[in-house]
Chain A
Amino acid sequence: MVISGMIKILIENLSLQYSDGKESLRDINMEIPANAITVLFGPAGGGKSSLLRVFNRLNDLADVKLISGRVLLDDIDILDPKIDVITLRRRVGMVFARPVVLPMSIRSNLTYGLELTGEKREKILSEAVERSLRQAALWDEVKDRLNEPAVSLSGGQQQRLCLARSLVLMPEVILLDEPTSGLDPISTGKVEASLQELKQGYTIVLVPHSVQQAARVADVAAFFLQGELIEKGIGKELFINPKDKRTEDYIMGRFG
């Protein structure tokens, strides 16, 4: 099911198992469209975060017993052990559930990723800092305090800083794992608004922290239960008219 134009990520028969048996994925087949917000939702343990971490190979850090299938980013299989994971992680950015700011200044948090590539030119770094902060709707609030420690920001600001940080390297895909779970409604609203703007230039995959958030932002929604993809749909269709009973039960709050 494609909404318009391109498929950014194609998942074919993906199965994943951890050594301790937790949160595995079973035979996932799915397409992630470009320039849209794809939402992966479902109860805990469903495999959503695991799938997210496959996209930037962050699951390499965990104890994976078995992984099979193909995940194609454009035309490259990112599960291929021969690919350059570093470059992949620059093409696919990630925002985590709890805002993790590095113990540095606001500016350094943002330039960190660029400096890793060897970029030293002040002009390029400063431009990247401003651009990403504007995209995260944070520029006005911090433009005079760029050299202050990032921990001095409020929770909502820190999370938007993390969003900005993921944008600095100009990735093609942005992954967000419950990005607003600790935030107040206003900050949540700001993040969601930024995502709506960003989707025009980026592919966004989001694990929401509530069904309501999923319904608010999804262009494509996919329901996961215990490692299986149960159902997917376009826009609000899944939330208004779920086809599978399990989807309906979850959305209705009968379990969760």
Chain B
Amino acid sequence: MRRSLLLSLLIYGLILFGLLTLRGDILTLSIPLVIYLLSGLLRAPREINLNVERKLSVERTGADMPVRVTLHITNAGATLEDVLITDKLSPRLKILDGSARHLLHLAKGQTVNLTYTVSGPRGYYPFPGLRVEARDHFGLVSREGTIPTPGQLFVLPSVLRLKQIAIRTRKTRVYSGTIPARVGGPGVEFFGLREYQAGDSPRWINWRASARHAFSMYSNEFEQERVADIGIVLDGRLKTNIFDKEHSLFEYSIMAVAAMADVLLSQGNRVGLLDYGRYLRWTFPGYGKIQRERILQALAHAQIGSNTVFSELEYIPTRLFPSHSQIILVSPLDADDVHVLVQLRARGYQVMVISPDPIAFELSYLPKNEPVDQAARLLRMERKLLIHKLQRAGIQVLDWDISQPFDQVVKRRLGRPPALLRAIGGQI
């Protein structure tokens, strides 16, 4: 019950009791209550007129890094006797220092600075505004309001720095890059021989081949290296990411996507990102550092979700990816995904799957005993079969045991071999 209502009822009750008993002294009991009520109402807040400015020490940061939030509040209205200011924060943000809630007395024209420090896991955190509740000094009348103070914080995923990775797409773009384009021209790798043309560098002349022909000379031709279109698909489906209702592989997928996008963009490629989970979130393909930032911000937004429509991968909108481009799917994989990936491959896409191993992940949370070992063995066989099916369809699969660092796994499986080994056609 509201305090002013309770007090009013008590006052009227005393007056009524005094009248019924015909006792004036009982009526006088209500006098302190009346004075209390009127005093509170007299100083009740008429309006809340606060000017608030929000400043964040950084608007983009890494996970669990401290961010200082400063609120500069000026009371542009009448004096507020008792005002409770609460900054609406995401429950995932942790306050390290200070408080997001303050109880203040704000005189007319007074300015205060409130600061606190927060940190949080990967995510996007908007700051919608301040909730303000002003009351008279006895708390009989209160006025509430929300003051919008827009602000946002991106807690970006950490980016592992990978060295160059070797991918071969069927189709490349016209700009020079690092992906072998299956076309002769200026480059590094030997591609073939052609007849000498005026303007060829003497260093390109293949003297051994030319010596075999009396009237013609031959030049070496190199394989052009260009940039390519690469679409990364992040699998955010609940059924593939969550185990035992609480443990999630999703953060590993995020880490892999961030690392892959970073290295592919730094190689000059055109990279886009599709977040495939509760809904589709498409980051349009682009180049360079701005695109890197866009992808990291999209990854900050990424969440696991379930949607009956997107429970299977078959609704990946392939029109978003240029034909014959490279598609990298980062997913723990589900048995139903095979036919979708094989179809993608059949349509001409170069498909690579980076799959954080869900079995090793789940096993790390289970007790070690015979039934668990047997179940794990069965699941491993199923997964091996799944991966084997994909590989037979020409899909490159990187099965990532998350107990090993991602950069080491990538270096071993996707790294470009040293020039010496490439010259003799070897692999690492």
Indicate whether A and B interact. Answer: no
